[in-house]
């Protein structure tokens, strides 16, 4: 199965990343819950868009044929908004790509990268055939997620953001399909001492580089030893005003920080993509909650992307969590999905197969939900600002009123 690496896992879960033998949590629910009751379960778990489950979208047969030929999961959904009198619908079709590595981590680096290019190009072509207008790839898609190892030779995968080989390759696809593409890479900042960053490059629909964003929050938890390679980014919370809408990129660990999500919303984002790499033992119970909650709290769409597979490295490594030395990070469980500002969301892609998620959005829903709930209107920014300003001072003391004895 895609993503298995060393041939000696101890259980089916480790072999293929399945959930009790099922491809997705949705497949498990559908197998055991009667159809009439499943409707109510999904209503609670996945919300309602305009009073109904998020609609499935029919894809061209070329897309489904490509998925069958290359053995990747493909799903498509449509989010609706109320028909307005003064604004036309603002439809945009987005795509999310999740994938496993395609060559052993012991293979020459050029071979590993080329194998990924070959696989991902098929998914990009499928997205183009599906009419995707904004496409996001997973975090550091051009390489294994080697940041657990602390070994510096993996930095050979780094490349310049604007002129690197992956950006140049994807610029051709952006031109071919008139598609905005978010290219999440390990960046080598050549003008600044070849400093390394975790970066998302935003390529415009004509193949131009619109800009880039560097990861704001760097994990130091479990096997995620990323601060060995790069530190917190310095690009703030940029929103990219594309021909298809205002988009932003909240890279991986930033999804655990509500203020990080909020800042993109304050800058006007309508869709925030979250290219990630995270494993089941650490974060899976959080995965379906965080991006969806951000969509609700900030009245925009979110798109969460996670890689798939188990990546095994040549040498043992350890982390500060008491585990014995090991070679595998754990299983990257995929399950990429899209959430809307009304709290509705799509099901997730496969937990162990490469996949393409397509979602048609009506961006008018952002304002409609904002008008309905008034989260931004009822926020108390002046109080929050004062608290934060006080909090960063050395003499800060929490506002705690103690019960008298």
Q: Considering only CA atoms, give the Rg of the chain.
A: 21
The single-letter DSSP state of residue 164 is: S
> Of residues 93, 252, 353, 360, which has the active-site annotation?
252
SS3 category, 145? coil
97 within 8 A of 124, measured Cβ to Cβ: yes
129 within 8 A of 63, measured Cβ to Cβ: yes
- Tell me whether residue 252 is one of the annotated catalytic residues: yes
Which bin fits 348, alpha (ψ -120 to 50), beta or left (φ > 0)?
Answer: beta
The single-letter DSSP state of residue 229 is: T
SS3 category, 125? helix
SS3 category, 246? strand
> Of residues 42, 93, 102, 215, which has the active-site annotation?
215
The rounded distance, in Å, linking the Cα atoms of 213 and 229 is 17
Burial of 106 (0-12, 13-18, 19+ CB in 10 A): exposed
**Residues 138/144/148/152 CA torsion (nearest 10 deg):** -120
- Tell me whether residue 136 is one of the annotated catalytic residues: no
> Of residues 16, 139, 311, 360, which has the active-site annotation?
139
Residue 181 backbone dihedrals phi, psi, to 5 degrees: -130, 130
Q: Are strands 134-137 and 180-189 parallel, antiparallel or unpaired?
A: parallel
- Tell me whether residue 148 is one of the annotated catalytic residues: no
Beta carbons within 8 Å of 2's beta carbon, 6+ residues apart: 71, 100, 308, 309, 352, 353, 354
> Could you list the active site residues?
139, 215, 252
């Amino acid at each position: 199965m895609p993503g298995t690496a060393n041939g000696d896992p101890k259980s089916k879960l480790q072999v293929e990343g399945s959930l009790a033998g099922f491809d997705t949590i949705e497949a498990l629910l559908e197998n055991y819950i009667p159809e009439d009751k499943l409707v109510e379960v999904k209503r609670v778990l996945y919300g309602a868009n305009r009073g109904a489950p998020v609609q499935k979208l029919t894809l061209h047969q070329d897309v489904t044929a490509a998925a069958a030929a290359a053995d990747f999961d493909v799903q498509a959904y449509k989010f609706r908004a109320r028909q307005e009198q003064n604004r036309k619908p603002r439809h945009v079709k987005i795509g999310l790509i999740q994938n496993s590595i395609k060559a052993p981590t012991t293979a020459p680096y050029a071979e590993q990268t080329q194998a990924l290019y070959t696989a991902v190009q098929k998914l990009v072509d499928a997205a183009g055939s599906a009419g995707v207008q904004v496409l996001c790839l997973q975090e550091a898609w051009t390489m294994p997620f080697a940041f657990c190892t602390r070994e510096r030779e993996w930095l050979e995968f780094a490349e310049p953001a604007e002129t690197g080989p992956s950006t140049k390759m994807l610029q051709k696809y952006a031109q071919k399909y008139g598609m905005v593409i978010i290219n999440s890479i390990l960046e080598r900042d050549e003008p600044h001492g070849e400093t390394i960053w975790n970066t998302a490059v935003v390529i415009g629909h004509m193949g131009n580089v619109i800009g880039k964003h560097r990861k704001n929050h760097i994990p130091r938890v479990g096997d995620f030893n990323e601060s060995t390679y790069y530190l917190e980014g310095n690009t703030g919370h940029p929103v990219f005003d594309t021909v298809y809408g205002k988009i932003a990129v909240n890279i991986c660990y930033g999804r655990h920080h509500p203020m990080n999500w909020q800042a993109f919303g304050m800058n006007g984002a309508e869709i925030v993509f979250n290219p990630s790499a995270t494993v089941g033992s650490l974060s899976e119970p959080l995965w379906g909650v965080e991006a969806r909650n951000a969509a609700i709290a900030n009245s925009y769409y979110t798109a969460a992307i996670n890689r798939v597979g188990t990546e095994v490295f040549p040498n043992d490594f350890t982390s500060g969590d008491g585990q014995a030395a090991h070679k595998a990070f754990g299983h990257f469980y995929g399950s990429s999905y899209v959430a809307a500002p009304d709290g509705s969301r799509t099901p997730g892609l496969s937990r162990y197969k490469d996949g393409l998620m397509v979602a048609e959005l009506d961006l008018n829903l952002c304002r409609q939900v904002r008008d309905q709930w008034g989260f931004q209107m009822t926020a108390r920014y002046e109080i929050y600002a004062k608290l934060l300003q006080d909090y960063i001072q050395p003499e800060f003391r929490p506002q705690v009123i103690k019960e008298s004895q």
